[in-house]
Amino acid sequence: MAATRGHFDCEAYYTALDEIRKAKTLSWKKVSDQTKVSASTLTRMGQGKHPDADSLTMLSAWAGLNPADYVTDEEFRHKEAESLPKMMALLRADPTLTPDSIEALQELLQVAYKRFTKPALEDAEFVRETATRL
């Protein structure tokens, strides 16, 4: 039997979004204005249609929702992201950094991360042990 593929539960996401909207006492028009997501996209979501990636991103940022929490496949839903992508995202979100600073820090982190992850450290230890035996 083939495994069933999980999906994004747009209805549950929209329900959560609606609860947040109500808690903020906003109309859908105001949500549209604040998120820069078109009113027609919000209407389509209310009809069960999936938003595009940009709209989902803007709505999630506005509402503080994590779209991964609305994926029905348990295998993916609770998976923890790797730490390097998390660090990169934090750098990109830092309003005190310039784009050039972000790029430089990302390059630095990538090199350091590659150098200090367990496989790299184990390889370095193996090389040291081998060299001392020779």
- Model pLDDT for residues 29-72, shown as the tens digit of each residue: 999 999 999 999 999 999 999 999 999 999 999 999 989 888 88
Q: Is the pLDDT confidence value at 93 over 70? A: yes
73: CATH: 1.10.260.40
Give the domain extent around 103. 83-133
User: Do 15 and 55 share a domain, yes or no?
Assistant: yes
Q: Specify the higher pLDDT residue, 79 or 23.
A: 23
Question: Could you read off the pLDDT of 104-127 as tens digits, one per residue?
Answer: 999 999 888 888 877 755 666 655
pLDDT at 123: 62
User: Do 54 and 113 share a domain, yes or no?
Assistant: no
Q: Is the pLDDT confidence value at 87 over 60? A: yes
* Domain finish residue from 77, 92, 124: 77
pLDDT class of 1 with cuts at 50, 70, 90: very low
Q: Is the pLDDT confidence value at 92 over 60? A: yes
Overall number of domains in the chain: 2
pLDDT at 68: 86
User: Do 91 and 61 share a domain, yes or no?
Assistant: no
User: Do 53 and 89 share a domain, yes or no?
Assistant: no
**Contact yes or no for 16/63 (Cβ under 8 A):** yes
User: Does residue 1 lie in a domain region?
Assistant: no
User: Do 101 and 63 share a domain, yes or no?
Assistant: no
